[in-house]
Structure 1
Amino acid sequence: MTQTNSRGRSPKRHGLSAKTLRDLERASGRLATASVAAMEERLPWFNRMPADQRAGVLLITQTGAAGFVGWLRDSKEALNLTTEAFRGAPQELSRWISLRQTVGLVRLAIEVFEEQLPEFAANETERAALIEGILRYGREIAFAAANSYAAAAEARGAWDARLEALVVDGVVRGDAEESVLSRAAALGWDPAAKATVLVGNPPSDDPPTVVFEVRSRAARVGRPVLLGVQGSRLVVVVAGPTEGTAKDREMLASLSVAFGEGPVVAGPTAASLAEAHQSAVEALSGLRAVVGWPAAPRPVRSVELLPERALSGDAEAERLLIDEIARPLEEAGPALLLTVETYLESGGVLETCARTLFVHPNTVRYRLRKAADLTGRHAAEPRDALVLRIALTVGRLARSRGLW
């Protein structure tokens, strides 16, 4: 029930009479139209908006004008009224214009109101009250718009994070390429960019902290990334080449800092995101097997873990060892294969190998260099010697099972 004073009349709100409030309420549509007209005249970008979008701004401005009258009637509910009046604005405006442009619209509308409100004032007191009221109302509208844009940005960020997690999960599981690519495109990923999968431990149990660490490192090296935390492992997909040059290796080393303690494994670089599943498979296989090589670098490429992966039962690692090492050595001729085997059995002693084969040590050196050219592994290097030994063993086992 409306309160009355001792003379039976409604008390004034903000020093305004009931007649002034009624006149303002009737004129709210005219004020809103004048505001939009000023926007069309003074803001070049506003005229470039489609007609339906300009109509939407007019509707929102009319709502704001009506909200001003309600705000004047009951200032105690000012925040609720302004928030309610502009509740639909960010959902629509944020799709068309930026926050800065929205604030510009609010400022221009307030200027128009300031110019036209004095005609509704019955005296100087009401004039001052109207000017003060529109300034305070405009400030609250600007704050409400900023808060709503921030909430919309948080909602979009949460949606992007869920979409990104779906893309990473799709890469790991090998889901249909089209679904993964369409989601990645929505996140701004270049479909033609090469992709490499890195896996390791997350740096924190707090998802925002993980995202911040990875994003900040990726920004420093200038590479787009997709990331997802899957249980106790962090999966990062890196765009662009990651093999060959020293700069690429430094880039991977920099990104590995964003991971938690423990090994970080990088799969092979795929030609595109559509083919990144194999990179993920090999990286995860390497992460399971890297415990077998305590001195592994960080990060370590999955191809460097072929012996450990083969010993852990990875059929793809066995195939690569055969195709890249065992088969080339065998096809090069019995002398080359025998030299490598004898050198490994002699414990890497060149003279012992030469005496066993009844050849000159320089001949052994020549054959070992030729084997290194074929396989990329030199038997004189301790790690390469292990890879060669495991590869030859895997080859013999495959042949005995009729698989080669």
Structure 2
Amino acid sequence: MPRRDPARDRQGSHRGLTCGTPTTAPVPDSPATTRAPYGPRVIQPRGADAEMTRLLRNRTAMLTAATVRRLEAEVEWYRGLAAEDRSWISLVATSGITAFIDWYERPTPTTYNAAEIFRAAPPELTRSISLQNALALVRIVVEVVEENTQEIASPHRAQELREAVLVYSREVAFSAAEVYARAAEARGAWDARMEALAVDALLRDDSEALASRVATLGWSGEGPVLAVVGTTAVPVTDARTADLRRLARRAARDALVGNQGERVVVVLGGFTDARAAVELLLPRLSEGPVVMGPVVPDVAAAGRSARAALSGLAAVRGWPEAPRPVTADELLPERALAGDSTARASILERIVEPLEHANGPLLETLAAYLESGRSLEAAARTLYVHPNTVRYRLRRITETTGWDPTDGREGFVLHVALIVGRLST
């Protein structure tokens, strides 16, 4: 290894150069970031002294007052707050300035934690102001401190203080975003739980609990309501439920989503076209049947729609060719055969009784037509009338009930109605 020349080293040092390992020239004091292994990041301003800290603490009240004046002059949402909330905002601003001074004096992760800054105010404050408003508050505090750096610090320390403010404000902004993200997650979990309880109250026909819970969830109560029931081929996770909920709220003004094991119950309110709204949900449900309950006037009656849809889902296996979605009313015969007393009562009310009270022997004509193999001539011979008379009476049956005896599926509905009517007497 060659020997070093001391004279040459001295000559290099006079020229501002070094031999061997190069070194960098000293830099002015500025904030720096260090990270302990596996620990939190700590941002440290270089060269904070007691005099600067004293000056900052002496001007805390002045900086807070300047911040409040800026908020009153420039920020509309601040002027719209209640007096109590405005006082909390002032307290938060003071807390933020104090936390900055503490960080400037002794940098630690907790001194730039927004949770610590907002701890001075009640948790309800995050419901009064949004994340955007909170960040606007941080921005104004930073601008106020930055504007007053020349008065607070000596000329050779003003730039250092300005850089420290900018570094600190960045960390507080990110921390504030984390605070609101956690609040949003907690709110989302609480809403999901309340939504599940609302669906449960709806199915149990607990109208009092249902009214309070949907009001808490912000149900507008405008427009008709219906329940939709489907199945899921895979376990229903929180992410899948949230995705279905977002889609449901695009399909209708109001929506509730509840998981019942392998079944999913969706309640829609305030829609224009019921079938179109339900068809938007089909991609998020399994390939199995989807049953729509009857449309009801309001959420208080939604339990009736949901129970009919659940009854239809249990009976839809009796009609393998059922459309998707299918209405609970289209499944009236299967529901009645499965033991649904509500379906039997609906059949009596909507089919049997209108035919009994109609002019002419419509029930007898229907029975003769269906039990003769749907033959006009055979029915006419049974009734001792002309086939055209049977044809005329069949048209009247369609007009009276809404079901056509000459159609295969609708004739089956009417045939079950005949049997239910006979069993009810």
Matched, 1:72 2:137: no
Structure 2 counterpart of 1:284, one-letter code: L
Secondary structure of 1:227's aligned partner:
strand
1:16 and 2:48 equivalent?
yes
**Quick check: 29-38 or 132-141, which moved more?**
29-38
1:389 is aligned, of 387, 407, 415, to: 415
User: Which residue in 2 is equivalent to 1:59?
Assistant: 91
The residue that corresponds to 2:13 in the other structure is none
Which SS does the other structure have where 2:123 is aligned?
helix
Q: Deviations over 1:258-317 (max 9, x none)?
A: 322211111111111111111112111111111111111111111111111111111111
Query: Equivalents in 2 of 1:335, 1:50: separation in Å?
Result: 73
Match 1:139 to one of 160, 164, 170: 170
User: In the alignment, what sits opposite 2:260?
Assistant: 230
CA separation in 1, counterparts of 2:306 and 2:76? 50
Counterparts of 2:391 and 2:332, CA distance in 1: 25
- Please report how far the alpha carbon of residue 183 of structure 1 lies from its aligned counterpart in structure 2 after TM superposition: 1.8
Normalising by structure 2, we get a TM-score of 0.83
Among 185, 200, 224, which residue is 2:230 paired with?
200
Q: 1:203: how far off?
A: 6.2
Structure 1 residues 30, 248: CA separation in 2 closer, same or farther (over 3 Å shift)?
same
**Equivalent position to 1:371, from 394, 397, 415:** 397
1:380 aligns with 2:410: no
What residue number does 1:6 align with?
none
Q: Which residue of 2 aligns with 1:108?
A: 140
Q: Of 125, 128, 134, which aligns to 2:159? A: 128
Give the structure 2 partner of residue 9 of structure 1: none
8 Å Cα contact 2:131-2:177 kept in structure 1: yes
Given the alignment of the two structures, is residue 303 of structure 1 paired with residue 303 of structure 2, yes or no?
no
* Alignment partner of 1:49 is 2:75: no
Deviation at 1:338, TM superposition (A): 2.1
Of 159, 166, 176, which residue of structure 1 is paired with 2:197? 166
Query: 1:62–1:214: structure 2 CA closer, same or farther, 3 Å change rule?
Result: closer
Partner of 1:261: 287
* Residue 35 (structure 2) aligns with: none
Q: 1:331 maps to which residue?
A: 357
Q: Which amino acid aligns with 1:15?
A: G
- What do residues 352-371 of structure 1 show as CA deviations (whole Å, max 9, x unaligned)? 32233333221111011111
What is the one-letter code of the residue matched to 1:82?
Answer: N
The answer to whether the 8 Å contact 1:265/1:286 transfers is yes
Structure 1 gap segments, 5+ residues each: 1-11, 400-404
Structure number with bigger Rg: 2
Shift in CA distance, 84/266, structure 1 to aligned 2, threshold 3 Å: closer
More helix by proportion, 1 or 2? 1
Alpha-carbon deviation of 1:13? 5.2
Q: Partner of 1:85 in structure 2? A: 116
What are the equivalent positions in structure 2 for 1:237-316 lying under 5 Å apart?
Answer: 237-240=267-270, 247-316=273-342
Task: Quote the Cα distance in structure 2 between the aligned partners of 1:392 and 1:44.
Answer: 69
- AA aligned to 2:269 is A
Deviation of 1:386 (Å): 0.9
1:340 correspondence with 2:381: no
8 Å CA contact 1:217, 1:258 repeated in 2: no
The runs of 5 or more residues in structure 2 that have no matched partner are 1-43
Residue 168 and residue 284 in structure 1: after superposition, are their counterparts in 2 closer, same or farther (change >3 A)? Answer: same
- Quick one: distance in 2 between partners of 1:173 and 1:263? 23
Q: Structure 1 pair 149/112, CA: closer, same or farther in 2 (3 Å)?
A: same
SS at match of 1:91: coil
CA positional deviation for 1:161: 1.4
| Equivalent in the alignment of 2:219 | 189
Residues 142, 165 of structure 2: 8 Å contact kept:
yes
Equivalent residue, structure 2, for 1:7: none
Deviation at 1:384, TM superposition (A): 1.3
Q: Does the CA contact (< 8 Å) of 2:248 and 2:268 recur in 1? A: no
Matches of 2:415 and 2:141, distance apart in 1: 79
Q: Aligned Cα RMSD in Å?
A: 2.3
